[in-house]
Structure 1
Amino acid sequence: MKRNFLVVLCVLALAFTAMAETQTNNANDNVKTVEILLKEKTDAVLALLQKKDLDTSVKKERIMEIVQPVMDFALMSKLTLGKDNWGRFTPAQQTEFVDLFVERLKRSYLDKTGFYDDEKIVYQPGILAGNKVHVPMTIVSGDKPIELLYKFYNAGSRGWMAYDLEINGVSLIKSYQAQFTEMLKNGNPQDLLAELKKPVVETSSPGAPPAK
């Protein structure tokens, strides 16, 4: 009887060991998948930026075509507002907020793409963070390297998607969240939407390209 009990314990131990090894292998596969995905997208963007014959506006459009499939803008929008504030918006306001927020992201970051000057990208190993994957990289530009940390989650059928980006330790989501929370303390969703519309309106001045 005692021997049978020991046999059962050994079988269970082997089963759990095999399960742990499988989970570890799956986790490593996930990290590798995200590393490859991010490198492919980054390399594609860099190759595009090096094409001196392309107009800056064309580059911006093509960059969005490259990165948009792996950027969960809808989730990023919700996270910047937080659960409580997101619930204050009507479905129509939520849709409008996502559109305006994406436009703000485009203007904030794509406007910088015209200054590419053969910076060096240093890719670093991905990090498993619970059920998410974080991938750090460094942009070596002059004397001040820029540290980036891309945060991905598994979006099921849509694959791995980025939901946040840290630049030199500052979270994109938390930065916007602080701004929007402050705006909504003494205002309402419509006030915030009106504020977000301002940059878009300013872009549509005479002689400037029409805002999308």
Structure 2
Amino acid sequence: MKWLLGIIAALCLNAGALAQELAPDVLIKNVTNEVLDIVRKDKEIQSGSTRKAIDLVDAKVLPHFNFTRMTQLAVARDWRQASPEQQKTLTAEFRTLLVRTYSKALTEYKNQTVDFKPFKMQPAETDVKVRTLINQPGAKPIDLDYYLEKQPNGWKVYDIEVGGVSLVTNYRSEFSTQVRQGGIDGLIATLQKKNKTGEATVPKK
């Protein structure tokens, strides 16, 4: 549950027309507030509409994540074993798995609020960490940090850290085990099975 609640804020990254002109912390802050406002008002998402949540993810999240780097970090050293075609397939399947996870998190939104911690960066920096705090009614707050890199088409998220635990690192052990057992094709098959059955979970810490 800790991961699921924390990931909700990861859905709040839509740059808009001024994406490349905004500092990464301002980008996250502005659109986090926008997306959470949408969720609060959307009765279908609050009632568990996965399709509606996926539509929101498609519109607000996908353009602002570097899924190739996220997959590479999660697969780690085994990435070098994969052919270009296997790498492409791994990225697509991991992307689908994360979209399902994020969408499920949106449907479980329960009036969490977000505090944005102080942020500083040097003008030439191209890799930054933006820190936030998720406030949950009746529960301890959760630290949620975004790792972003600057690319020619704007800032992209390549990892999310919840309570000090990296999302991509959290998948790494599971992926490594699957590669040892069945090779790269075995990992691809496992991801495809999860996506086909609609599984939307994050490995436990």
Mark yes or no: TM-score above 0.5.
Answer: yes
RMSD, matched Cα: 2.1
Count residues in correspondence: 172
- Checking the alignment, whether the CA contact within 8 Å between 1:152 and 1:164 is kept in structure 2 is yes
Q: Looking at CA atoms only, which structure, 1 or 2, has the larger radius of gyration?
A: 1
Aligned-residue offset at 1:167 = 0.7
The alpha carbon displacement at 1:171 in A equals 0.2
Q: Aligned partners of 1:41, 1:70: CA distance in 2, in Å?
A: 12
Among residues 62, 68, 72, which one is paired with 1:68 in the alignment? 62
Cα offset, 1:54, TM superposition: 3.6
* Structure 1: gaps (5+ residues): 1-29, 205-212
User: Is 1:49 paired with 2:39?
Assistant: yes
Once the two structures are TM-superposed, the CA of residue 51 in structure 1 deviates from its matched residue by: 2.0
Partner of 2:4: none
TM-score, normalising length: structure 1: 0.74
For 1:59 and 1:197, the matched residues in 2 are separated by: 21
Do structure 1's residue 178 and structure 2's residue 173 form an aligned pair? yes
Q: Which has the higher contact order (CA 8 A, sep 6+)?
A: 2
Counterpart of 2:87 (choices 88, 91, 94) is 94
Cα deviation for residue 117 of structure 1 reads: 2.4
Instruction: Tell me the CA shift for residue 131 of structure 1.
Output: 4.1
Per the alignment, residue 159 of structure 1 pairs with 154
Q: CA deviation at 1:144?
A: 1.9
- The residue that corresponds to 2:110 in the other structure is 117
SS in 1 for 2:182: coil
Contact 1:78 1:86 in 2 (8 A): yes
In structure 2, C-alpha distance between the alignment counterparts of 1:109 and 1:53, rounded to whole Å: 18
Higher helix share: 1
Q: Could you tell me the percent identity over the aligned residues?
A: 26
Contact 2:100 2:198 in 1 (8 A): no
**CA deviation profile, 1:141-161 (whole Å, cap 9, x unmatched):** 022212100011111x11111
> Would you say the 8 A contact 2:54–2:100 is kept in 1?
no
Q: Deviations over 1:85-124 (max 9, x none)?
A: 1121122211111111011111223202112222221111
